[in-house]
Amino acid sequence: MKRLQFIWKQEGHRRTAQRYLCFSALFMTFVGTSLTLAQDIKPMVQSEDTHYFDFWVGTWYVEENGKIDTAGTRFVVRRSIHPAAYVEEWRMDLNSNSTLTATALRGWDKTNNRWMYTWVSANGLYQVWEGRKDQGHWYIYNRFNIEGDQYLSRQGWIPESPGRVLRISEKSYDDGATWQLRFKQILVRKEP
């Protein structure tokens, strides 16, 4: 009988410990959630910068030699959860035999006053780019190390006229002091 009482007391302590751990986990979850929600519940304040990509909604195709290839590379862009957030569906022709699809989320970060960009491709690439303004235009920046080739990359979508955008990609080996052109594309908005 004494053995049963000893086991009962041990079980009681275990239950108390389990309750304590459960309560602690719930408390930390509540505190963590409260801190996350308390970061900022104020509405986004719109500005000229939050409206920079207003031109970007629509279906975009690459223009080459004055011709628009509606069967090739395209970007389908729609507004998302707020006026400065966009969901992008990419279809890129890499060459005559291969195509890569991707989904991207472009959004204004009101906490840091900049655009952010996340890109996920069908072949498993996941990239997070940070936005920086340079000479009146917003670019996205990311660091790469591709088989030992380390550089800072940036891309810009620069409106040239209504329905026409210059997409430019550059890289820098000196942390952005100088830039080398990777590619330029003219994108034209055209509904399919």
Query: What's the whole-number average pLDDT of the chain?
Result: 87
Q: How confident is the model at residue 15 (pLDDT cuts 50, 70, 90)?
A: low
Domain-wise residue ranges, the chain: 1-39, 52-189
- Give the CA-trace dihedral at 108, 111, 113, 119, to 10 degrees: -40
How, if at all, do strands 180-189 and 114-121 pair? unpaired
Burial 136-150 (b: 16+ CB within 10 A, else e): eebbbbeeeeeeeee
The runs of H, that is alpha helices, within 39-119 are none
At 33 the pLDDT is 47
At 135 the pLDDT is 95
Q: If you search the block for the tokens 């989904």, which residue do you land on?
A: 103
Give the residue-averaged pLDDT of 164-192: 96
User: CATH says 52-189 is which class?
Assistant: mainly beta
38-73 pLDDT, tens per residue?
Answer: 578 899 999 999 999 999 999 999 999 999 989 999
At 96 the pLDDT is 84
Answer yes or no: is pLDDT of 17 > 80: no
Answer yes or no: is pLDDT of 106 > 60: yes
Contact criterion met (CB below 8 Å) for 131 and 117 = yes
67-81 pLDDT, tens per residue?
Answer: 998 999 999 999 999
Instruction: Tell me how far apart the terminal alpha carbons of the chain are, to the nearest angstrom.
Output: 83
Backbone angles phi, psi at 101, to 5 degrees: -110, 155
Category of 136 on φ-ψ map: left (φ > 0), alpha (ψ -120 to 50) or beta: left
